[in-house]
Amino acid sequence: MSWKNTKRTIRAGSRSFFRSGFTSVSAVLVMVITLFVITGLFFVQASLTTALSNMKDKVDVTVYFVPRANVDTIESIEVAIKKAPEVKSVEYVSAEEALSIYKEKHSNDNLILQVFDILDENPLGASLNIKAKDPAQYESILNYLKSDSVLSAGMLSVIDSVDYSRNKLVIDRLNNIIDGAQRMGFMLAVILVFISIIITFNTMRLIIYMSREDISVMKLVGAGNKYIRGPFIISGILVGLFASVISILLFWPASYWLGHSMTDFLGIDLYAYYKSQFVQLFFIQIIAGVAIGAVSSFLAVHKYLNK
Amino acid sequence: MIYFNNVTKKYAEFDTEPSLEDVTLSIAPGEFVTVVGHSGAGKTTLTKLILAEEKPTSGTVSFQSVDIHKLSEKDLMKLRQRIGVVFQDFRLIPNKNAYENIAFAMEAIGRDDDEIDSDVNHVLALVGLENRALHFPHQLSGGEKQRLAIARAIINQPDIIIADEPTGNLDPKNAHEIVNILKKINALGTTVVLTTHNKGVVDSLGKRVVTLENGRIIRDDKEGKYVI
């Protein structure tokens, strides 16, 4: 298509979009809903991913040592554990720290505090909090701890208990729930996106159906198919552009509200997410809006051009 | 220029009465042919066949010895650029103003903006719509809409004008004006095919009259009158 025709096509498409008034507004509104659902999909994914990663972060293996355990022995165990490739971090909590944490936790319980005052020595031992790179690797870390090659028999004797299996069941279940919710949320969002695309497509088709007489007149005055189709596609693109701007602006107060009132519940500040991902989300909306608008217009006009 | 050779048109296979039946008709360049007949006689079908909006069930329709219905999409587009069309219901593009409705026909054949501007203003003045250039079709009267449709039909100086009942929705005064414009166009050498069932219009013309009845040509008079 020559520059002259391109210019005319853009001009005719823009004029038609702005002159169609209510029809264009309704098409934009339907497209806004579609883009809102598409962007919502990203927000749902971000929330679920954060929830899952928070949950994973809460999982650890704690190795409790007997109170009389030698600090050097504990340090050598810490060094040995850190060598394991699955281990992300190891945090050492001394017996004194353990006592002060315990006291702080039970600061309202005088009876317990009095018991500590009566005791001459600290009954709590030191501990090591081990975090794995992946929750699935805790099993192998436990096996690693048990293996003779890593810890000598002397070392094992200072270990009082390993606290993992107690939380394991709950953590596994939570993992499964979040995993299932993530998959179901994604599927539901995909279905919603599909439905809203179909609705947008049908709206565009109805709008072009109203212009079917104009298309036949354009053909009768000798206009080529490309020249007739062009302005309709431009109008479709404008519907997508306006809808993407409205949709991204609507997400501002929506994410602000979610960020300020639902952060504790969702485990993610969606307003911060919106701000950090603004450019990416805006581009996704523009591309989706323009593509849906252009493709649905193209297909709808195609039907009347071939009559 | 236009030749119908034993043309029959049925809209459905089971039609017992075809819309056109065994029509043979020749229209010479520069002629003014009026096709008359009652509603359903086949007048509109005849014009649709010339415009290749419909295909004949049997027979051929030729334009300058070329079978219209065997043309490619591109050639058909070029043929239509040589034909001006005027309809009873005007068929103007509603979201384009008067100027743009006419300009569209010129843009479709790739004319330059300067040329379009000068020709459109000229033709608007010719049909008396110079003060209505920026009006949209819904802001024009019936007579003005039809004059605009004629302006669009003649803007590319076509070889032939097909006017399908152009006076059907107009009062006698406006109908008379439209017929006068068509006569002037014909006087300048353009072939005009006018379909109508307006007796007054046909009798005032004094030109060739083809009479259709039940899809068949029953009369073809050189300087005819409305006789049904």
pLDDT along chain A (307 residues), means of 10: 86 92 92 89 83 75 82 82 83 86 82 78 84 77 68 66 68 75 81 86 88 89 89 95 94 88 80 89 92 92 82
Contacts of A116 (CB under 8 A, 6+ apart): A99, A103
- Report chain B's mean pLDDT, rounded to a whole number: 91
Distance CA A42, CA A40 (A): 5
Contact call for B95 and A20, based on CB within 8 A: yes
* pLDDT, mean of residues B195-208: 88
pLDDT at position A11? 93
- Does residue B211 register a pLDDT over 90? yes
Q: Is the pLDDT of residue B208 over 80?
A: yes
Structure confidence at residue A117 (pLDDT): 77
What is the predicted pLDDT for the residue at A114?
80
Is A221 within 8 Å of B80 when comparing Cβ atoms? yes
User: Is the pLDDT assigned to residue B163 strictly greater than 90?
Assistant: yes
Report CB contact under 8 Å: B81, A4. no
Specify the pLDDT at position A103: 82
Q: Chain B contacts of A214, Cβ < 8 Å?
A: 93-94
A165-210 vs A22-58: helix crossing angle, rounded to 10: 170
Chain B residues whose beta carbon lies within 8 Å of the beta carbon of residue A223: 77, 104, 107-108
Q: Do B94 and A214 touch (CB under 8 A)?
A: yes
With the C-alpha atoms ordered A15, A19, A20, A24, is the resulting torsion angle positive or negative? positive
Contacts of A16 in chain B (CB under 8 A): 95
Most A-contacting residue of B51, B96, B107 (CB-CB within 10 A), to test interface: B107
Closest-approach residue (CA) in chain B for A228: B108
Spatial distance between the Cα atoms of B215 and B227, rounded to a whole number of angstroms: 16
Closest C-alpha to A93, from A113, A114, A69, A118: A69
pLDDT confidence of residue B74: 87
Residues 6+ apart with CB under 8 A from A37: A189, A192, A193, A196
| Helical H segments across chain B, by residue range | 43-50, 73-80, 98-108, 113-126, 142-154, 172-187, 199-205
pLDDT single digits (tens) B81-127? 899 999 888 899 999 999 999 999 999 888 999 999 999 999 999 89
pLDDT of the residue at A150: 55
Residues A196, A192: Cα–Cα separation, whole Å: 6
Helix axes A110-118, A95-105, angle to 10 degrees: 150
Q: For the ranges A232-236, A288-292, B185-189, B197-201, which has the lowest average pLDDT? A: B197-201
Higher pLDDT, A45 or B2: B2
Hey, which residues does A244 pair with through a beta bridge? none
C-alpha distances out from residue A166 to A60, A61, A81, Å: 11, 10, 21
- Order of strands across the sheet that contains B2-9: B20-27, B2-9, B58-63, B66-67
Looking at residue A57, its pLDDT comes to: 74
**Could you tell me which residue, A156 or B205, shows the higher pLDDT?**
B205
How far apart are the CA of B112 and the nearest CA of chain A, in angstroms?
8
- pLDDT top residue among A162 and B77: B77
> Which single residue is written with the structure tokens 């709590």?
A124
CB-CB neighbors (< 8 A) of A19 in chain B: 95
3-state secondary structure chain A: CCHHHHHHHHHHHHHHHHHCCHHHHHHHHHHHHHHHHHHHHHHHHHHHHHHHHHHHHHCCEEEEECCCCCHHHHHHHHHHHHCCCCEEEEEEECHHHHHHHHHHHCCCCHHHHHHHHHCCCCCCCCEEEEEECCHHHHHHHHHHHHCCCCCCHHHHHCEEEEECHHHHHHHHHHHHHHHHHHHHHHHHHHHHHHHHHHHHHHHHHHHHHHCHHHHHHHHHCCCCHHHHHHHHHHHHHHHHHHHHHHHHHHHHHHHHHHHHHCHHHHCCCHHHHHHHCHHHHHHHHHHHHHHHHHHHHHHHHHHHHCC
| Whether the model pTM is above 0.80 | no
What is the chain B residue with the closest CA to A215? B93
Dihedral pair phi/psi, residue A162, rounded to 5°: -120, 120
Say which residue the tokens 């945090």 belong to: A91
Residue of A nearest to B158 (CA): A221
Nearest to A222 among B53, B96, B109 (CB): B109
Contacts of B105 in chain A (CB under 8 A): 221-222
Q: Which has the higher per-residue pLDDT, B183 or A53?
A: B183
Considering CB atoms only, which of A4, A213, A224 is closest to B77? A224
B74·A224 Cβ contact <8 A: yes
Give contacts of B104 with chain A, Cβ < 8 Å.
218, 221, 223
Residue B98 to residues A7, A100, B135, B145: CA-CA distances in angstroms? 20, 88, 6, 9
Q: How confident is residue B12, by pLDDT bands cut at 50, 70 and 90?
A: confident
The per-residue pLDDT for A2 is 81
Q: Which of A20, A216, A227 is closest, CB to CB, to B108?
A: A227
